[in-house]
């Protein structure tokens, strides 16, 4: 699994072990905390193999395969993921995210390695015509370089599916992963100022930030703030395991699934729920809109339910409680 020490990757590693898999992690640790591998090992009950290699390094990928004697499948998460940062340094995002996918697919084709699960994103939909999106919703104009890299990677997968019909690939377009492992031993550790809502909320509650700015309060939503589909990170991890099972057992060349809860919550709702379930205050202020933010978007997850047998299990309340427990443990 590439990006195996990141926020989502670390939770997937634990879920894989719970389902009888033995994960092998690859991560260059450029955006990971040094404590996470030990936390993964503690939850898994053994030292999970970790290769400190950049996913763009083809020789490093081959050395991993040689050392492990081959692998049964690949979960690819290694990517930079900040929308705002990608606007500032687009070439870095193109080089890292697209080049990593290119190198990985190149190795998988040359080694005849099957079964790929790709970490995509709802950003591929851009600004959709309808707030509820299905897998048939067309790609919109990417409103950030980050979103474009996810579209480009999915295009690479589709082209490889046509040129190498023996390959089996699944793309998971997940919405807004939040929360932390219920044990409190794994969670989101953003470097610097958080780009995502929940870490900013928890850091504000912990006193590390003076307040959280709500970007825009005049959107066409019930309370004027943006609406998003927030899904627990452990549910996202479970979806990857289900997708790996599916791609390993099916004969489909390429498939795509939305991963979300199927309903949206506004920014104000999330902050209010966090205050209520954790009995703590979070100071918030209203600010101007951010360029590129859409009013509302949430997932139709019927396909994932019917084909993968997957639905989200955790509530938003549980996710926000777990996120706060994780923050307090740091």
State mean pLDDT over 7-14: 98
Using the Cα atoms of residue 66, residue 67, residue 73 and residue 75 in order, give the sign of their dihedral: negative
Residue of 7, 146, 174, 230 marked active site: 146
Give residue 84's pLDDT. Answer: 84
| CATH class entry, domain 7-178+231-259 | alpha beta
230 is known as an active-site residue: no
The pLDDT tens digits of the residues spanning 304-320 come to: 999 999 999 999 999 99
Residue 136 φ then ψ, to 5°? -90, -10
| Eight-class DSSP state of 139 | P
The pLDDT tens digits of the residues spanning 119-133 come to: 999 999 998 999 999
Give residue 280's pLDDT. Answer: 97
Is pLDDT at 136 greater than 90 in this prediction? yes
Secondary structure in 3-state letters for 146-210: HHHHHHHHHHHHHHHHHHCCCCCEEEEEECEEECCCCCCCCCCCCCCCCCCHHHHHHHHHCCCCC
CA dist., res. 191 & res. 193, Å (int): 7
- pTM value is 0.97
The pLDDT tens digits of the residues spanning 46-89 come to: 999 999 999 999 999 999 999 998 799 999 999 999 888 999 99
The pLDDT tens digits of the residues spanning 171-201 come to: 999 999 999 999 999 999 987 788 889 999 9
For 329, the 3-state DSSP assignment is helix
The pLDDT tens digits of the residues spanning 230-284 come to: 999 999 999 999 999 999 999 999 999 999 999 999 999 999 999 999 999 999 9
For 211, the 3-state DSSP assignment is coil
What is the chain's length? 330
Give residue 299's pLDDT. Answer: 98
Burial status of residue 125 (CB atoms within 10 A of its CB: 0-12, 13-18, 19 or more): buried
* CA dist list (Å): 201 to 6, 10, 48, 215, 285: 20, 22, 32, 13, 12
């Amino acid at each position: 699994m590439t990006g195996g020490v990141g926020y989502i990757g670390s939770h997937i590693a634990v879920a894989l072990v719970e389902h009888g898999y033995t994960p092998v992690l690859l991560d260059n640790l450029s955006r990971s905390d040094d404590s996470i591998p030990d936390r993964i090992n503690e939850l898994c009950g053994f030292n999970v193999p970790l290769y400190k290699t950049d996913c763009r390094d083809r020789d490093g990928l081959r050395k991993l395969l040689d050392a492990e004697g081959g692998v049964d499948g690949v979960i690819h998460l290694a990517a930079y993921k900040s929308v705002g940062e990608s606007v500032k340094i687009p070439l870095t995002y193109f080089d890292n995210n697209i080049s990593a996918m290119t190198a990985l697919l190149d190795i998988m084709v040359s080694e005849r390695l099957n079964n790929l699960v790709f970490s995509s994103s709802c950003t591929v939909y851009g600004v959709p015509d309808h707030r509820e999106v299905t897998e048939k919703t067309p790609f919109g104009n990417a409103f950030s370089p980050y979103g474009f890299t996810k579209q480009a990677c999915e295009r690479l997968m589709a082209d490889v599916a046509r040129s190498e019909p023996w390959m089996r690939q699944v793309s998971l377009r997940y919405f807004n992963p939040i929360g932390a492992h219920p044990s409190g031993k794994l969670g989101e550790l953003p470097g610097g100022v958080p780009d995502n809502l929940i870490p900013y909320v928890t850091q504000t509650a912990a006193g590390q930030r003076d307040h959280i700015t709500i970007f825009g309060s005049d959107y066409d939503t019930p309370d004027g703030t943006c609406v998003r589909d927030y899904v627990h990170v452990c549910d996202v991890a479970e979806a990857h395991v289900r997708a790996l099972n599916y791609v390993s057992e099916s004969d489909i060349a390429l498939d795509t699934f939305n991963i979300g809860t199927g309903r949206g919550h506004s920014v104000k709702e999330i902050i209010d729920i966090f205050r209520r379930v954790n009995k703590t205050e979070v100071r918030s202020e209203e600010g101007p809109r951010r360029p590129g933010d859409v009013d509302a978007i949430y997932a139709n997850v019927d396909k994932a339910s019917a084909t993968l047998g997957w639905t989200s299990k955790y509530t938003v309340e549980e996710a926000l409680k777990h996120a706060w427990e994780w923050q307090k443990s740091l």
